[in-house]
Structure 1
Amino acid sequence: MDILLWVLQVLAAFLYGSSGVMKTFMFDKVSHDVPSFGALPRKAWFVLGILELVCTVGLIVPAALHWWPALTIFAAIILAVESLVFIGVHVKYREVTPIIMSGVLGLLMVFVAYGRSVLAPIS
């Protein structure tokens, strides 16, 4: 179970890290192609991008260093909640693929949080 959770954490860190970089540093370039980016002001997307980048670090570093591993659980919960919010935004704009992606990532983060708190905690 520990190996599966590590694989999921690294995969999620890659996906959320990519998303965070896009929202923070490439927003103007990609926002033209995605209608739902109009749902929030530019500064809000920037803050969400920074949050994703911080949580990306939180998914890996505390668990890898065995330093406050509860931060890994907290990061996963934050990303799960963010995914839930994004599902609502994508539903409003009728973007099916992002709804599915946000749902899958949100469930993945719920599983990581549960896994790291119950199934295979980092001590």
Structure 2
Amino acid sequence: MNVVLWIFQITLMLMFMMDGVLKAFQYPIARANIPWVRDVPQGLVVFIGIIEIIAAFGLVLPIIFESLTMIAQIAASVLVILMLFNIFFHFNRKEYKDVKVSCIFLFIALFITVGRIFFN
């Protein structure tokens, strides 16, 4: 089970790191390629990107520092909360394709959160 959790953690880390860097440091590219970014203040988009980057690092930090195992739980919990907001946001905008993708990320982050409680 530990191997499965690490696979999910690394996968989520890669996804959120790429997405977070795009939102936080490449705002013009994000604005051109992500429809909802045009309707949200730049500061909020950058803030979300930074949160995604921090959480992504938190998912894999226990690989380096074995004493920080709880960091992965906290990072995954932050991503669960972020995905819940994301689902409601896209649902209100009737962007159902984005809701489906966000639900997948929500369940993976939730799986990591619960899994790390029992398999730390």
Q: Please report the TM-score for the alignment, with normalisation by the length of structure 1.
A: 0.90
Contact kept, 8 Å, 2:30 with 2:37, in 1: the verdict is no
Q: What residue in structure 1 maps to residue 101 of structure 2?
A: 101
Identify unmatched segments of 5+ residues in structure 2. Answer: none
The Cα offsets for residues 55-101 of structure 1, whole Å up to 9 and x where unpaired, read as 11100012442122111100000001000101111112211221111
Once the two structures are TM-superposed, the CA of residue 23 in structure 1 deviates from its matched residue by 0.7
Q: What residue in structure 1 maps to residue 17 of structure 2?
A: 17
Q: What residue in structure 2 maps to residue 91 of structure 1?
A: 91
In structure 2, the residue corresponding to 1:68 is in which secondary structure? helix
Contact kept, 8 Å, 1:36 with 1:89, in 2: the verdict is no
Contact kept, 8 Å, 1:80 with 1:109, in 2: the verdict is yes
Q: What residue in structure 1 maps to residue 80 of structure 2?
A: 80
In structure 1, the residue corresponding to 2:56 is in which secondary structure? helix
In structure 2, the residue corresponding to 1:69 is in which secondary structure? helix
Q: What residue in structure 2 maps to residue 110 of structure 1?
A: 110
- Residues 64 and 111 of structure 1: is their aligned pair in 2 closer, same or farther, counting only changes over 3 Å? farther
Take 2:116 and 2:46, find their aligned partners in 1: how far apart are those partners? Answer: 29
Once the two structures are TM-superposed, the CA of residue 39 in structure 1 deviates from its matched residue by 4.4
Q: What residue in structure 1 maps to residue 71 of structure 2?
A: 71
Q: What residue in structure 1 maps to residue 3 of structure 2?
A: 3
Q: Please report the TM-score for the alignment, with normalisation by the length of structure 2.
A: 0.92
Amino acid at match of 1:48: I
Q: What is the aligned-residue identity percentage?
A: 22
Q: What residue in structure 1 maps to residue 61 of structure 2?
A: 61
Take 2:30 and 2:38, find their aligned partners in 1: how far apart are those partners? Answer: 12
* Count of residue correspondences: 120
Identify unmatched segments of 5+ residues in structure 1. Answer: none
In structure 1, the residue corresponding to 2:68 is in which secondary structure? coil
